[in-house]
Amino acid sequence: MQRIRLRYTKRGRLRFTSHRDFQRAFERALRRADVPMAYSAGFTPHPKVSYANAAPTGTGSEAEYLEIALTEPRDPDKLRELLNESMPTGLDIVDAVESRTSGLADRLTGSIWELRLTGVEPADAERAAEAFRAAETVEVQRRAKNGMRTFDAREAVVSLETIASDEAISHDADRPTDQPCAILRLVVRHVTPAVRPDDVLSGLRAVADLAPPVAAAVTRLAQGLLDDETGTVTDPLAPDREAATAPLENQGVDAAAAKVPATEGPA
């Protein structure tokens, strides 16, 4: 059984698709591309697809991950191209590697988010971010299955800062451009309960009375293993790429060593 790991996006208006909507679109693409999927056992077999830490509905993303199991080997790049032919524009498969290491979900320990606050002056957003950073705790509430839940949104936030518009990365063509727009860059550690961008926005409202007149456009730029020293995240698929090239490098070293004539040891 071969396993392929994929990175996909949710761009533009496709950010409003739910995780279930994406599942249906992706499984339809698998059938159209005639991918030799492995199926689970039991009375209702389903394709073996593992989703990792999907973004909430309404948020865009450049870095969503999943893994599929195949019964026959396929070239990851060709598979990616075939799937993209059947996926809606905006739900794009942008990377594919063969799974050669374990623990993909364990390498998703942090995310980088971009928050576009239309109608908010950058100076006001910076003052709010500074107040948030200065606070020891920022309690927010979120509705859960058992009612309202209160938790600290500050502890999970590694960094929060305003950035210039020309530094923005997110795709946001459907937003008005004739209003002021503050852009926040957020790095958050994955904890339980998860601290989401809307929780941080609630925290900004609590500590600085920052309330954007329209809903914020939120995009996940990256997720992976959080580096506490630099405050960034690393590519979670990098270990699989390194494992794929390691045998070739070792073979090259062995071949070179075989050409070196043996030397006599000390008498």
Instruction: Answer yes or no: CATH 1.10.1200 is held by domain 108-232.
Output: no
The rounded distance, in Å, linking the Cα atoms of 132 and 209 is: 11
pLDDT at 165: 82
Q: Once rounded to an integer, what is the mean pLDDT over residues 221-236?
A: 93
* Cβ atoms of 64 and 10 closer than 8 Å: yes
CATH architecture of 2-105: 2-Layer Sandwich (3.30)
Q: Once rounded to an integer, what is the mean pLDDT over residues 124-153?
A: 93
What dihedral angle (degrees, nearest 10) is formed by the CA atoms of 116, 107, 48, 34? 70
The mean of the pLDDT values for the chain is 89
Better-scored residue on pLDDT, 145 or 74: 74
Q: How many CB atoms lie within 10 A of CB 208?
A: 17
Question: Which pLDDT band, with edges at 50, 70 and 90, does 242 fall under?
Answer: very high
pLDDT at 38: 96
pLDDT at 259: 39
To which residue do tokens 């942090």 refer? 110
Q: Once rounded to an integer, what is the mean pLDDT over residues 210-217?
A: 94
The conformation of residue 72, written as its DSSP 8-state character, comes to: S
- Domain extents in the chain: 2-105, 108-232
Q: What is the reported pTM?
A: 0.86
- State the DSSP string of 248-261: HHHHHHHHHHHHSP
Asked whether this chain's domains 2-105 and 108-232 adopt the same fold, the reply is yes
